Chains A and B, each alone.
Chain A
Amino acid sequence: MSQQTSVLYDIPGPRQRRITLISSLVASVVLLVGAYFLIYRPLDENGQLSMELWGPLIDPSNENFSQVWERIGLGFKNTLFAAALAIVSSLVIGTLLAVLRIQLKSLTRRRFVGAATPLAYLLRGLSALLSAITRVCVEVFRGLPVVITIFFVARGFPEFGLYFDNLWYLVIGLTIYNSVVIGEILRSGMEGLPGGQAEAAEAIGLSPTQTTRMILLPQAFRIMLPALISQLVVVLKDTSLGFIISYEETLNIGKQIIGALGNPIQVYVVIAVLFIVVNYSLSKLAQYVQRRLARGRKTAGTPAQNPPAAALISQAEGGGGGGGGGGGA
């Protein structure tokens, strides 16, 4: 990043360095004064910096300290557990969905020459129909907010006599949305591969299933790995939506603590820091993988794939919704 932005300005000479130094100093002073008046003063005036409110969270000798952190630990464990379940199941279902859509698409192009004419038309119509249905499902679930999906699952399943734990409502809701998104990521990865890959696989006699399983999927996974890791961040953030169906994740526990101790700002700061640490490391991991892949991809003829945009944007969805990640329908 620094290398890319520095393109905008020259390597500074002595005068430019002096200007930068002076403006840095001015900016720091302005920022510090601004922070003092806009952040520190309001906090202090309202007594939000008092040890009474912070104590249970940061002072080990406080009577509530161990209990509070035990609860937060439990909540975070629940958050991670739900996120792990959701990501595994959405990976599996998303992969199946991507394969299904690719297969259906190739099926609609087949003319079924061996079969009798009416049968051939029937089969072609059927595959076109199935293809359209999966497309619509994908568009619908990608266009719905995750909150709404989770809410519908939690409200709707009992209507049909399906009763689960809150954990499973959350996991199912997250899986519905994220499997669709991951499916689209993988599909655009597979369609972005050079056509020669599939043609070569066909030429050496692999069946369509084998082609997908042995040639296309592994490459798509590899190219799309950074986007997939970013999706992990999204899932982790979305797990916090469990509070609307009162699953005991971090935020819900936080609410209970606030109910007992009456320190909302302090508890949310701690929770925010927890989330930021975990998610920031995950994003760094995604960047690292991205760089490694970029380095490994020097073979002539393979086109430069461009997942960073998708990887970046897919994160915008965290905490409630999603946008169109990979393009191409």
Chain B
Amino acid sequence: MNVLIDKFDVFAGGFWLTLQICILAAIGALVLGAIVAVLRISPVPPLRAVGTSYVNVFRNMPLTVVMFFAAFGLPALGSNADFLRIPVLDSLFTRLGTDLPYFRFALIALVLYTAAFVCEALRSGVNAVPAGQAEAARSLGLTFGQNLRYVVLPQSWKASIVPLGSVIIAMIKNSALVGFFGVVGDLSATADQLTSAEGYAFVPVAIGISLGYLIMTVPLGALLDRIEKRQAVAR
């Protein structure tokens, strides 16, 4: 069990790095997912087609493939994803600005992949609003934008929050994959490092790593369960 105490800083560092990538990816995925969702419900057919194909492509492809694309495809195109070296952010999230691009590649892959699911969660919320609401708004003479802003979105937000939360939880777990794509020092890479390279006993390391992930996922899941139950009562 000593490894848990001796190497506590390594575990803590891994936890913090995983948390960093999750926060950044969550923000990115929410923004991109919202844009794709807008495309998917827009009245203009070509935009709708783009949204739909985006979702179909990324939802049906393993994250691993997306990661491989980011990690091997982008260098082949001569890109180092330097556009992600955002001035203020990279002083807070130091890995964004490093010369090794793998953190940025992993971030891109995670955002692209998760955005498809965020879009679906948002859209399922819009679909959960009874058709009569939008119809009533239209018959009052509200325009498309007003209809979305005052009638549909406020209601759909409530219906999307639980699916959105599940997507974020799934994303946290998916982030474990980045350790196998060259991001040094996140929780899953730490597991590999400690057990194989430094030869620590397997079981304590496994416990430490599991705890790291469970701290992130279980409370969030419990919170979602509560929200879900409260909504069920409210309805």
Instruction: List A residues at the B interface (Cβ < 8 Å).
Output: 1, 4-5, 7-10, 20, 23-24, 27-28, 31, 42-43, 46, 48, 139-140, 142-148, 151-152, 155-156, 159, 233, 237-241, 243-244, 251, 254, 258, 264-265, 268, 271-272, 275-276, 279-280, 283, 308-309, 312-313, 315-325, 327-329
Which stretch from B3-11, B43-51, B80-88 is at the chain A interface? B43-51
Asked if B180 is an interface residue, CB under 8 A from chain A, the answer is yes
Interface size class of B (residues with CB under 8 A): 35 or more
Q: Mark B162-186, 1 if CB is under 8 A from A, else 0.
A: 1101111111111111001000000
What 6 pairs between A and B have smallest CB-CB spacing?
Answer: A321-B173, A319-B63, A323-B166, A145-B176, A320-B174, A279-B60
Whether A143 contacts B217 by the Cβ 8 Å rule is yes
Measured between beta carbons, the chain A residues less than 8 angstroms from B57 are: 272, 276
Which chain B residue shows the least CB distance to A258? B72
- A1 shortest CB reach to chain B, Å: 8
- Expressed in whole angstroms, the Cα–Cα distance for A141 and B224 within the complex equals 18
- A15 shortest CB reach to chain B, Å: 13
Most buried by A among B61, B114, B131, B210: B61
Contact of A329 among B46, B135, B225 (CB under 8 A): B225
Q: Mark B142-162, 1 if CB is under 8 A from A, else 0.
A: 001001100010000000001
Contact of A237 among B56, B62, B79 (CB under 8 A): B62
Contact of A324 among B60, B76, B169, B214 (CB under 8 A): B169
Whether A317 contacts B170 by the Cβ 8 Å rule is yes
- Expressed in whole angstroms, the Cα–Cα distance for A258 and B175 within the complex equals 25
Whether B76 contacts A264 by the Cβ 8 Å rule is yes
Whether A323 contacts B61 by the Cβ 8 Å rule is no
Measured between beta carbons, the chain A residues less than 8 angstroms from B20 are: none
Whether A140 contacts B214 by the Cβ 8 Å rule is yes
Measured between beta carbons, the chain A residues less than 8 angstroms from B114 are: 316
Whether A7 contacts B131 by the Cβ 8 Å rule is yes
Asked if B21 is an interface residue, CB under 8 A from chain A, the answer is no
Measured between beta carbons, the chain A residues less than 8 angstroms from B177 are: 145, 147, 241, 319-320
Which chain B residue shows the least CB distance to A306? B128
- B87 shortest CB reach to chain A, Å: 23
Known: A156-B206, A237-B60. 14 other contacts (CB 8 A): A5-B41, A20-B43, A42-B78, A140-B210, A151-B192, A241-B64, A251-B62, A264-B68, A309-B124, A312-B163, A313-B170, A316-B114, A321-B170, A324-B221
Most buried by B among A271, A315, A327: A327
Measured between beta carbons, the chain B residues less than 8 angstroms from A156 are: 202-203, 206
Whether A316 contacts B61 by the Cβ 8 Å rule is no
Interface residues of B in 181-235 (CB under 8 A from A): 188, 191-192, 195-196, 202-203, 206, 209-210, 213-214, 217-218, 221, 224-225, 228-229, 232
- Expressed in whole angstroms, the Cα–Cα distance for A308 and B202 within the complex equals 40
Q: Known contacts being A4-B127, A139-B218, A143-B217, is A268 close to B44, with CB within 8 Å?
A: no
- B125 shortest CB reach to chain A, Å: 10
Provide a sorted-by-A list of 10 A–B residue pairs whose CB atoms are within 8 angstroms: A139-B221, A145-B177, A239-B62, A240-B65, A258-B72, A265-B72, A265-B76, A315-B117, A320-B177, A323-B170
Whether B68 contacts A48 by the Cβ 8 Å rule is no
- A273 shortest CB reach to chain B, Å: 9
Which chain B residue shows the least CB distance to A313? B166
Whether A276 contacts B45 by the Cβ 8 Å rule is no
Contact of B191 among A10, A139, A151, A272 (CB under 8 A): A151
Whether B166 contacts A147 by the Cβ 8 Å rule is no
Whether A143 contacts B76 by the Cβ 8 Å rule is no
Whether A148 contacts B213 by the Cβ 8 Å rule is yes
Most buried by B among A5, A46, A139, A239: A5
Contact of B167 among A28, A139, A316, A319 (CB under 8 A): A316
- A8 shortest CB reach to chain B, Å: 5
Measured between beta carbons, the chain B residues less than 8 angstroms from A254 are: 68
Whether B77 contacts A48 by the Cβ 8 Å rule is yes
Whether A313 contacts B173 by the Cβ 8 Å rule is no
- A53 shortest CB reach to chain B, Å: 10
Whether A155 contacts B43 by the Cβ 8 Å rule is no
Q: Known contacts being A4-B131, A24-B45, A144-B214, is A309 close to B163, with CB within 8 Å?
A: yes
